[in-house]
Amino acid sequence: MAHEWNSLELLLKKKGIGPEGSKHLSASDLDQLKEILNQKTYSITTLATLLTALILLDKTIEEKNFLDGLPLSTLPEEVHFLFTQSSSNPLGQYTIQTLLKKSLTYVEAREAMTLLLHSDTPDYIKATFLEAQRLKRETSDENRAFFDVLYENCNRLTLPLPLLIDIGDSYDGYDRHYNVSIFLAATLASIGYPTIVHGVKSVAPKFGHTSHGVLQALHLSVSYSLSICQQKIMDSSVGWAYMDQSVFFPSLYALRAMRKEMVKRPFLATFEKLLQPLQSTTGNILFSGYTHPHYKQEVVQQIARQNQAAQALISKGLEGSGQLPLQRTTTLMHWDGQVISEHICDPSVIAFSFEQKPGKYTQATDAAILGLDALKGNKNEAYYSIVYTGSTLLHCSLSIPMEKAKQMVEDSILSGKALQHLLAF
């Protein structure tokens, strides 16, 4: 079910998108905001995030007059620092620096990311920092620091394996297409390529259906410890595993409520899916996606710079995932451990006749039914997604000829082997 947004959240959804996509608040919107302030029943985190957007983005005359004429006495004391540009909180100080459009050094950004993970840092300050960073647009050094701190603080086990495929979907899930990641993972495992999937049940801003929800619909576990997941991976009759962020990164998982109230997608969403909670001895083959053009190069360059993965394949897939669209060509960025290259993926290589139409508020139960039917040999949308995405992944990362990779994937599905691996989890 779609998340129901309150009035203040709807204003933030309109204003806080980003430097290019945001809309100005109308006179009517600003009157509504005044009324919300008078009622004093709002989330301070949501209000602080909206004020951050109003301060940092270009303003109309109406918006400027609204801010200039806004008495601090009408605002909660917690958000005064946004206007006085003074804060005793260390992360608040970094927020002010960001509001002034001054980039943080690598060391400063590391400290800011560390403070974000501290439970004693107020949520409204965390939200203002994250919003200010997204609207200013994070520099490469800032992203490097954020990614490094997240990677260093993630619980992780190393497996005695030379290869591990790592499917990193966007944690806020799918709401227009169907998530087939666990079916893809089981299929890859069934042909000898151990695979992990990870995520959460639900998180802002999309609150879409996730692998967690699909597993629940199939009555499979979503809460195995890392050590149990390690056993599942090492068991050749399983060979794949799902790990929940609540297990491998509790302090990041604890930010869910704050992320809901700040409404917009922070940089956390870019990096949380790339943390390799289970890792092969040489690092994983990361398979993930991007949405905004700015991240086409940025994500794969950060992975290459960090040098903790064996390879990375980052596509402009469905809803920020690596899952390749069936109705159009798309871009895939590949870091092979040494060089970054760009490829065009074309679904016509698997020769199918199927029309993939975006839905509205797609559900985990439907994705579970579709994926299960696919592994039973029903050539539906999920079947072709698994075959196309799986064969492309094997072709690009392991240099398996495309036709051979396609045959390997289809043989495993049609023989029932992929289904056996799914249900063995």
395: alpha, beta or left? (left if phi > 0; alpha if psi -120 to 50): alpha
What residue ranges do the domains of the chain occupy? 7-152, 160-423
388: alpha, beta or left? (left if phi > 0; alpha if psi -120 to 50): alpha
The first and second tokens of residue 327, run together, are: 């109705």
What is the C-alpha separation between 182 and 193, in angstroms, rounded? 14
Residues of the chain with pLDDT under 50: 1
Please confirm whether the linkage preceding 122 is cis (ω < 30° from 0). no
Contact 410, 191 (CB under 8 A): no
- How many other C-beta atoms are found inside a 10 Å radius of the C-beta of residue 163? 19
> Which residues have C-beta within 8 Å of that of residue 376, sequence separation ≥ 6?
416, 419
Report the pLDDT value the prediction gives residue 1, as an integer from 0 to 100.
Answer: 44
Indicate the DSSP class of residue 169. Answer: -
- Based on its alpha-carbon atoms, the radius of gyration of the chain, rounded to whole angstroms, reads 22
For residue 84, with 0-12 CB atoms within 10 Å meaning exposed, 13-18 middle and 19 or more buried, which class applies? exposed
Averaged pLDDT score across all residues of the chain: 95
Question: What CATH number matches the domain at 160-423, 3.40.1030.10, 3.20.20.60, 2.40.30.110, 3.40.190.10?
Answer: 3.40.1030.10
Angle, CA of 281, 286 and 289, to the nearest 5°: 170
Nearest to 370 by CA among 166, 169, 177: 177
Nearest to 287 by CA among 315, 316, 306, 268: 315
- Distances in Å between the alpha carbon of 254 and those of 118, 128, 230, 259? 10, 17, 24, 10
- Starting at the edge strand that comes first in sequence, how are the strands of the sheet with 311-315 ordered? 240-244, 195-199, 165-168, 285-289, 311-315, 330-335, 340-345
